[in-house]
Amino acid sequence: GLRSGVGRWASRAMSFAAGLTKIVAGKKSEIADREKIALSWKDKEAKLLEEAVNLFKSRCVKEAELQKTDATISFEVITREIPDFPKRILTDSTYFVDSWPNGTTAESWFYATRGVNSSWSPGAPILFAEVLQAMLPKFVERVKDLGFPECNHEAGTWKVAVSWPTPDENSEKKKRRRE
């Protein structure tokens, strides 16, 4: 009697433990799948940021050709010129993402941005501003890498302000180095 009761309890405990092991394995597999999904957005985002930086550079060249030594450029305005950038739609005075670039989805953006441990609700609308907000710091870092002495994101806007030395400032620095 007692021995068979302990045996049944032990086998139930083992099956419960085995069930927990299956849960862990399932979660690990789910996370791995989400990481693959997130990768499609990360790859696309890198290309979009590269295009945005190239547009930013060409705008700076135009300013330099006008003999200016600074530029303030809106990241949001630049993104409108990128053909493959997520498209937006205005709904009740709020912009939502209407369509995603080929090979990406709202789900891929979600996991890349919020992390693979967050839970995605299929069909949940994504605010266009959230997409911009997630990309802006990465854009600013890439712009800083171009070597501007000053590069700032204007708080509360999509604008990035940069400046570069005047030809006079450059020749002064060269003179000082020679001395």
117-137 pLDDT tens trace: 998 899 899 999 999 999 999
With residues binned 3-state (H G I as helix, E B as strand, rest as coil), the percentages for the chain, rounded to 5, are 60, 15, 25
pLDDT at residue number 39: 94
Please report how the helices 2-65 and 106-114 are oriented relative to each other, as an axis angle in degrees rounded to 10: 100
Q: Which residue has the higher pLDDT, 172 or 150?
A: 150
Give the Cα-Cα-Cα angle 27, 41, 86 (nearest 5 degrees): 135
- What average pLDDT does the chain have? 89
Distance CA 39, CA 121 (A): 19
Whether residue 139 contacts residue 52, with contact meaning beta carbons closer than 8 Å, is answered with yes
Position 1 scores a pLDDT of 53
pLDDT digits over 17-57, tens only?
A: 888 888 777 777 778 888 999 999 999 999 999 999 999 99
Question: What residue has token string 């708080």?
Answer: 155
End-to-end CA distance of the chain: 100
pTM, whole model, 2 decimals? 0.80
* Nearest partner of 157 among 83, 92, 77, judged by Cα: 77
Residue 149's SS3 state is: coil
